[in-house]
Amino acid sequence: AHLAALVLARGGSKGIPLKNIKLLAGVPLIGWVLRAAIDAGVFHSVWVSTDHDEIEKVAKQFGAQVHRRSPEVSQDSSTSLEAIREFLNHHHEVDIVGNIQATSPCLHPSDLIKVADLIQKEGFDSVFSVVRRHQFRWSEVKKGGSKMTEPQNLNPAKRYRRQDWAGELYENGSFYFAKRHLIEKGYLQGGKMAYYEMRAEHSVDIDIDIDWPIAEQRVLSFGYFGKDPLKEVKLLVCSIDGCLTNGRIYVTEDQKEMVSYDYRDIVGINLLKKGGIQVRFISERDCSKTLSAMQLGCIAKVSATNKLQVLEDWQKDMGLSWNEIAYLGNEESDVECLRKAGMSGVPADACTVAQKSAGYICKSSGGCGAVREFAEHIFMLLKKVNSARKQ
Exposure string of 312-339, with b = 16+ CB inside 10 Å and e = fewer, is: eebbeeeebebbbbbbbbbbebbbbbbe
**C-alpha span between 347 and 331 (Å, rounded):** 10
Asked whether 326 and 360 are in contact (CB, 8 A), the reply is: no
Find the catalytic residue in 68, 133, 159, 199: 159
Please check whether residue 40 is in contact with residue 116, taking contact to mean a CB–CB distance below 8 angstroms: yes
Residue 187 CA to residue 178 CA, distance in Å, equals 8
> What 3-state class would DSSP assign to 127?
strand
How far apart are the C-alpha atoms of 341 and 312, rounded to whole Å?
A: 10
Q: In angstroms, rounded to a whole number, what is the distance separating the alpha carbons of residues 125 and 290?
A: 65
Q: How many helices (H) and strands (E) does the chain have?
A: 13, 17
**Which residue, 269, 290, 302, is CA-closest to 379?**
269
| Residue 120: count of CB within 10 angstroms of its CB | 15
Phi-psi region of 144 (alpha: psi -120 to 50; beta: other; left: phi over 0): left
CA 124 to chain centre: 30
218 is catalytic: no
Among residues 107, 88, 108, the alpha carbon closest in space to that of 47 is found at: 88
Per residue, the 3-state secondary structure of 243-302, as one string, reads HHECCCCEECCCCCEECCECHHHHHHHHHHHHCCCEEEEECCCCCHHHHHHHCCCCCEEC
Separation of alpha carbons 1 and 99, rounded Å: 16
- Which residues have a catalytic role annotated? 159
